[in-house]
Amino acid sequence: MAKGLAGQVLARFEAAGFSIAGAKMIQLTPEKLWEHYAHVADKPFYPEIEEFMSSRPVIVAALKGEGIVAKVRDLLGPTDSTKAPKGTIRGDFGTNMMVNVVHASDSDENAQIELDRFFDPAEILG
């Protein structure tokens, strides 16, 4: 959000053939971040994640498309933006491991958990 790239990122998802089934801007709370990052919440770097992720509003999006999880992860590139190739979202817009522009689910199961975490059923329309 700080770099003003939301439209460009969403446009890349659409250009890749995905449809946006839901999207909204939210402010992540410490409680929601703790739930979302529970798998690393006990790590020494977690406070930095919480500080960064709650520093400004974020846009959460529900995308649809064939093989969506793997294809989105390919489009994003590696989590560490310094290792992401140019042409990927993180490679073009990210800064480092923390400031990597976009989070994406790593499995169909986690995608459903995250959709349920960030959206009410009526907010996903596609």
* Whether the Cβ atoms of residue 93 and residue 8 lie closer than 8 Å to each other: yes
Residue 75 CB-half CA count within 13 A: 21
The alpha carbon dihedral of 44, 54, 7, 14 has a sign of positive
- Confirm whether 39 is a catalytic residue: no
Cα–Cα separations (whole angstroms), residue 62 to 22, 49, 82:
5, 22, 26
- d(C-alpha 10, C-alpha 42), whole Å: 32
Q: Which of 5, 6, 103, 105 is catalytic?
A: 103
Catalytically active residues, by annotation: 103
